[in-house]
Amino acid sequence: MRGVFVTGTDTGVGKTVVSAVLVSALRRSRAVGYWKPVQTGIEEDDDTAEVARLASCAPQEICNEGIRLERPLSPHLSARLAARPIRLDRLLAIKDRLASDRYWVIEGAGGLLVPLNDRRLISDLIAAVGLPVVVAARSGLGTINHTLLTVEALRRRNLEVAGVAMVGEPNAENRRAIEIYGQVRVLGEIPRLISVDPAAIEAPAAAWSAARLL
């Protein structure tokens, strides 16, 4: 399988926008696909539909299979309350059915150490999928610590870090600190978007494509 797994330094940092930009950027040089294995709060947030909208995805570029839970909580708790435990083997069975001729952008739920069930974390899903990881991070105050912690946790688990994507007002000092102290590449930055629509992600997608980021 070819692709990347997008995780975040926290929930709400912009993983879905990063995923949409990646899909749009990578599509310019290869066949792509997007998959969100686990989604909570599905009635309020449908990240799959959002990426499809932002990246103007064709039906064959989207996999809509996976765990879909109503309550906007941590996956393990939302699944427990719904009496629908999340099983890693079921998610991997879906992964095995993904088209092998596509480069897949897989978006996680929350951050790296978010629990899926009583034993497994998002990091276990990443390890099982076996793809390099793109870390979505805020650009503002606090991001250095949060990003370096996430990068360190990935490396301690022998998970490959493809790079960091920063979301928000560009901050050159924070970017430099993450690259130096984390010994990691910042793939690109997505400025704060006034309106989150397909046109708004076109500029960062074009820049990332031109830079051949992955």
- Radius of gyration (C-alpha) of the chain in whole angstroms: 16
Q: Which one of 36, 95, 120, 138 is the catalytic residue?
A: 36
N- to C-terminal Cα distance for the chain? 15
The alpha-helical segments, DSSP class H, found in 40-102 are 47-54, 75-81, 88-97
What pLDDT digit, counting tens, does each position of 53-65 carry? 999 999 999 999 9
Number of domains in the chain: 1
Residue 2, beta-bridge partner list:
103
pTM over cut 0.75? yes
Residue pair 19/34 in contact (Cβ under 8 Å)? The answer is yes
Q: How many CB atoms lie within 10 A of CB 137?
A: 31
State yes or no: pLDDT of 213 exceeds 80. no
State yes or no: pLDDT of 196 exceeds 90. no
Neighbour order of strands in the sheet with 62-63? 62-63, 32-35, 103-111, 2-8, 133-138, 161-167, 186-190
In this structure, what is the dihedral angle of CA atoms 176, 181, 187, 190, given to the nearest 10 degrees? -50
Q: How many CB atoms lie within 10 A of CB 194?
A: 7
Which tokens is 27 given? 């599509």
Residue pair 143/166 in contact (Cβ under 8 Å)? The answer is yes
Instruction: Look up the CATH number of the domain holding residue 35.
Output: 3.40.50.300
Residue 106, beta-bridge partner list:
5, 35
Domain, as residue range, for 119 = 2-210
Which of 83, 161, 92 has the alpha carbon at shortest distance from 120? 92
State yes or no: pLDDT of 34 exceeds 80. yes
36 is catalytic: yes
Residue 212's pLDDT band, with cuts at 50, 70 and 90, is confident
What pLDDT digit, counting tens, does each position of 77-104 carry? 999 999 999 999 999 999 999 999 999 9
Q: Which amino acid does the sequence have at 145?
A: N
